[in-house]
């Protein structure tokens, strides 16, 4: 190998190490932000009530007393932005986990046979529907409320997990180690769990994190439309809806701060998903 080739390899290796350090720092920052936001929202006393308005502070601009200002009803925007995390984040996480728990078995056990094909046609039909419309219909059928929004998020994401898991399962079932397991008489359940899912869980985990990020946007859209968690419980979507009427008066704070919160949460989840994806790809190459 020539000196030039050695130098090029060293440069590439240094760039890869630098990229890994950057991704590691990014994922640590994302985890710290999400954990800090959750801890503050769940355990730290807020400076103002998130559910009781202060009529003397209606539409107040950001100040020492109200760092993020107040909205048109007199609610402190800072307190409600933090408190909204205590409802929006659990809904996104538990809704995504529920969809994973239902969608993954559907994908694992519908790889063969007419019943499997029929199940996937139903999943494809759900996938063709607009996400927001499907979520609104699900919430209306369930009746509304916190648990019903979690169910709606699950309904929206089940097709995603089912199709992804099925695609991975179909590809892995052609692998020699799976064929060997079938040949020695392993049960279909053991093959699916111990040989197929065990080698596909990384991709599913990445999809679960991305589903949670997508769920944050769906929850915000639902609450913006007035469907979902009932007031006065704060949510980022309802805050944006209430603050939108203030924008025409130049009072930007009531809508901007919850929008920034959504952006930071979704960006953090995306960074974490990207880190896991690189880890999965690295493990596959190794």
Provide DSSP, 110-134.
-SSHHHHHHHHHHHHHHHTS-HHHH
How many residues appear in the chain?
286
d(C-alpha 45, C-alpha 48), whole Å:
9
Is the peptide bond between 232 and the residue preceding it cis, with omega within 30 degrees of 0?
A: yes
* Closest by Cα among 109, 54, 115, 116 to 80: 54
Question: Which tens digit of pLDDT belongs to each residue from 87-144?
Answer: 899 999 999 999 999 988 888 887 776 777 788 888 877 777 777 787 888 787 777 6
pLDDT of 78? 94
Q: Phi/psi at 85 (nearest 5 deg)?
A: -65, -30
The topology (CATH level 3) of 16-51+66-285 is MetI-like fold (1.10.3720)
Residue 4 is predicted with a pLDDT of: 47
**DSSP run (H or E) holding 30:** helix 3-43
> What does each of the 286 residues of the chain score in pLDDT, given as a tens digit?
555 454 455 545 545 555 566 678 889 999 999 999 999 998 889 988 888 888 888 888 999 889 999 999 899 999 999 999 988 999 999 999 999 999 888 888 877 767 777 888 888 777 777 777 878 887 877 776 778 888 888 888 888 888 888 888 888 777 787 778 777 877 777 777 777 777 778 888 889 999 999 999 989 988 888 887 777 788 999 999 989 888 888 889 999 999 999 999 999 999 999 888 887 765 555 4
Residue 273: both structure tokens together: 């998903």
Query: So what's the pLDDT on residue 187?
Result: 75
pLDDT, position 213? 92
Using CA atoms, how far apart are residues 26 and 30, in angstroms rounded to an integer? 6
**Alpha-carbon separation of residue 229 from 53, 167, 221, 225, 272 (angstroms):** 18, 35, 12, 11, 27
Nearest-Å Rg of the Cα atoms of the chain is 23
Residue 121, burial from CB neighbour count under 10 angstroms (0-12, 13-18, 19+): exposed
Say what the pLDDT of residue 83 is: 92
Torsion sign over Cα 274, 279, 284, 286: positive
Residue 6: the pLDDT is: 45
Spatial separation of the C-alpha atoms in residues 239 and 47, rounded to whole Å: 18
Q: Report H helices in 60-145.
A: 77-108, 113-127, 131-142
Do residues 184 and 161 lie in contact, with contact meaning Cβ atoms separated by under 8 Å? no
**CA–CA distance, 222 with 224 (Å, rounded to integer):** 5
∠ Cα 253 268 78 (to 5°): 25
């Amino acid at each position: 190998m020539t000196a030039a080739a050695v130098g090029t390899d060293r440069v590439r290796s240094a760039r890869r190490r630098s990229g890994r350090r950057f991704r590691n720092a990014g994922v640590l920052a994302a985890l710290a932000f999400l954990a800090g936001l959750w801890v503050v929202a769940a355990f730290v006393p807020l400076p103002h009530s998130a559910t009781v308005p202060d009529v003397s502070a209606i539409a107040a601009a950001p100040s020492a007393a109200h760092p993020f200002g107040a909205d048109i009803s007199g609610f402190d925007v800072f307190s409600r932005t933090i408190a909204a995390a205590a409802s929006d984040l659990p809904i996104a996480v538990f809704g995504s986990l529920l969809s994973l728990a239902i969608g993954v078995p559907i994908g694992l056990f519908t790889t063969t046979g007419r019943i499997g094909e029929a199940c996937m046609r139903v999943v494809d039909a759900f996938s063709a529907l607009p996400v927001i419309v499907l979520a609104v219909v699900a919430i209306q059928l369930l009746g509304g409320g916190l648990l019903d929004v979690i169910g709606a998020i699950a309904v929206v994401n089940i097709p995603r997990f089912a199709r992804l898991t099925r695609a991975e399962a179909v590809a892995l079932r052609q692998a020699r180690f799976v064929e060997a397991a079938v040949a020695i008489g392993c049960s279909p359940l053991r093959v699916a769990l111990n040989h197929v899912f065990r080698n596909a869980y990384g991709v599913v985990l990445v999809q679960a994190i991305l589903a949670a990020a997508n769920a944050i946007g769906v929850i915000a859209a639902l609450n913006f439309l007035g469907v979902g968690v009932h007031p006065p419980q704060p949510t980022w979507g309802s805050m944006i809806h209430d603050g939108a009427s203030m924008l025409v008066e130049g009072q930007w704070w009531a809508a901007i701060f919850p929008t920034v919160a959504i952006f930071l949460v979704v960006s953090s989840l995306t960074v974490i998903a990207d880190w896991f994806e690189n880890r999965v790809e690295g493990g596959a190459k190794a």
